[in-house]
Amino acid sequence: MSRQLLVPVDGSPLSKQALEYAFEIHPDASVVALHVIDPSEPGYSSMTPIDVRNEPPHGSEAWYDRAAEEEALIFDEVRDLAAEHDAALTTESKTGDPAREIVDYAEEHDIDGIVLGGHGRTGPGRLLLGSVAELVVARSPVTVTVVREAADE
């Protein structure tokens, strides 16, 4: 039976690197790309810079519509990346706290591992991840692989 991996995606370069890592290191795995719309955050992931003057009111129907449009762009990108790697991919969407939704998804589905991007920081023996990555690592019921890019010194 092939492994089932969960890769949270938000349109950032690190989430794309995590997805590529999953495809390259686990070529026979089935990958679930999970995007979480966080209603507590006024902005969107990071696909495009947001002009706050044109941002719909936070939590409004227009805000959710815009978040769904961005999610569709993210899913188009991850499907293209999967096709480049001839990889099995499904996409899932959740709304809520990203760390909680990622862990809950792993607990509720037959997930063997999570691969996610984390912002690495250099320093004397320190590794700081993004807050979502830190929470997922701490709470995950399965192995978590963090793909990171070290900050310039």
pLDDT digits (tens, 9 = 90+) for 122-137: 444 344 456 889 999 9
Question: DSSP code of 37?
Answer: E
Q: Are 19 and 7 in contact (CB under 8 A)?
A: yes
Provide mean pLDDT across the span 66-75: 92
More confident of the two residues 75 and 53? 75
To the nearest whole percent, how much of the chain has pLDDT over 70? 80
Tally of domains in the chain: 1
Q: Is the pLDDT of residue 153 over 60?
A: no
Structure confidence by residue, pLDDT tens digits, 82-106:
999 999 999 999 999 999 999 999 9
Cβ–Cβ < 8 Å for 56, 50: no
* pTM attached to this predicted model: 0.85
Range of the domain at 70: 4-150
Q: Give yes or no for residue 51 having a pLDDT over 60.
A: no
Q: What is the DSSP letter of 125?
A: T
pLDDT in tens, 2-37: 799 999 999 989 999 999 999 999 999 999 999 999
For residue 24, what are the CA distances in angstroms to 8, 11, 107?
A: 16, 19, 24
CATH of the domain at 89: 3.40.50.620
C-alpha–C-alpha distance, residues 112 and 141, integer Å: 9
